Structure 1
């Protein structure tokens, strides 16, 4: 008896489970890739984002009610009238009883504390610390705080800034943060040149210091770009030395006076 041949369509239907199985394997692979990317969070960026969101949600309400046509604007209860004298602008706390010699000795004491905090890194030549009668200069390489071409601090930067803030707390000395780069050009949407990159890095350090409790009235951020090198830019070692953030702690309390 002649055997009946199975239709071609029935044979194809038996192989369709392979398509569903392949789709399942692809989705499973994509799931594990997403899970891995979520677990590899940049903790430094997460901490900055967390602090920023906390400040935003704790900020006072800034919305206003629109005034209907023909109505008179309501006067705020606590709004100052024309006869009320506005309060004076306050500066960072200062100790007027300290003379110049006492402030110089206090500055040297702060230098000794920083030297103890970063003793190993100073001995290795990674960090440099210099002092004079009017200034304390702490030189940090950019690699200790930021990734290449970026102004967002990585996770290890918070421990470094935390040690510095521990020395600065309880004092009134003005602090100027200076950002420097090498001469390698940068042209991104966020940083059109090294001016913006160095300024953003200095401002990021200021932001971290305020997060650690340092009064913002004491702080200033300055970016010099590539134009204040301490070494030649034609060698990798020279460019590495030029990529730096410098903290200048003044003997005095006035930040504007310290910058002149």
Structure 2
């Protein structure tokens, strides 16, 4: 009799084996990630001290790490003992604190600046292209614009860069406050860039100050003034006089802050103007009278020395005394000091 062969049934639970393997791998992966994310402070300290010992060559005793990760305690300082050979002490170089040099920004530095400037610019001084004047309160370095700027522009010429960079290298080593002042002659100018001599003189002073700042002079030490044509040194009736009036003046103040600037300015220009300017500067300012409506001509106005208040307030200009029967001029000659 033929035996009946049992049919083998297919096992539908075979998926559980790879699923269990996948779960095991995921569990191992998360365990590894957790172990990496948790920093063992004790092992990290041991590693860092080992690196320090390897690079510094010092023998150190390191405290053992905590016994278990679960017992976390605040990290304590690790005592480190260095082996020192007492027979051969090591002398460590320490930076020396030098006391400030006496007279910096004062009389001694002014003499140092003058000597260095005269030595560096002696060829130009001999040709009378540079004039150095030393007063008790400031040092003046007057440079003719013939060697600095072409006619009618404020862009420095190629020959001016070497002169000004040499001068800036000297001034950068001292803390004194600096003022760059520009002057022109009375030849009028009217262009889109320079409507008058005010703009031209201020732009020339700014060009010199900008080169000083680019060469190493601290910008907070610099100030610029454009005087235009109102403070001439010589008459503008001759070519030689106009050449003297076209100049740039670098004023090195005696102190670091350059105070008091207004008193120094008034005194300096009184000395340059001569004794005739003294009564004008000291005279009381009369009340301005209205201009005459008739065709009587105005009297010439003498420029007065005006001291600028520290709060940048400009007082009224001083006008010269005129006869009672003559009309009083209204024109004022105000020279801004900033």
1:173 aligned counterpart, secondary structure: coil
Cα 1:239–1:200 shift into 2, 3 Å: same
Matched, 1:220 2:223: yes
Matched, 1:179 2:182: yes
Q: Does 1 or 2 have the higher relative contact order (CA < 8 Å, sep 6+)? A: 1
Partner of 1:142: 145
* Misfit runs of 4+, over 6 Å: none
Partner of 2:158: 155
Partner of 2:200: 197
Larger radius of gyration: 2
Distance in 2 of aligned mates of 1:228 and 1:142: 15
Indicate the larger mover: 237-246 or 160-169. Answer: 160-169
1:207 aligned counterpart, secondary structure: helix
Q: Do 2:109 and 2:174's aligned partners in 1 also have CA atoms closer than 8 Å? A: no
Q: Do 2:199 and 2:228's aligned partners in 1 also have CA atoms closer than 8 Å? A: yes
Distance in 1 of aligned mates of 2:191 and 2:108: 45
- Extract unaligned runs of 5+ from structure 2: 1-98, 264-338
Q: Do 1:149 and 1:197's aligned partners in 2 also have CA atoms closer than 8 Å? A: yes
Q: TM-score, normalised by structure 2?
A: 0.47
* 1:98, distance to aligned residue in structure 2 (A): 4.3
Partner of 2:118: 115
Please give the root-mean-square deviation of Cα atoms over the aligned residues, in Å: 1.9
1:211 aligned counterpart, secondary structure: helix
* 1:96, distance to aligned residue in structure 2 (A): 7.8
Partner residue of 1:104 out of 107, 119, 122: 107
Cα 1:205–1:124 shift into 2, 3 Å: same
* 1:216, distance to aligned residue in structure 2 (A): 0.4
What is the count of residue pairs matched by the alignment?
165
Matched, 1:133 2:167: no
Cα 1:181–1:136 shift into 2, 3 Å: same
2:236 aligned counterpart, secondary structure: coil
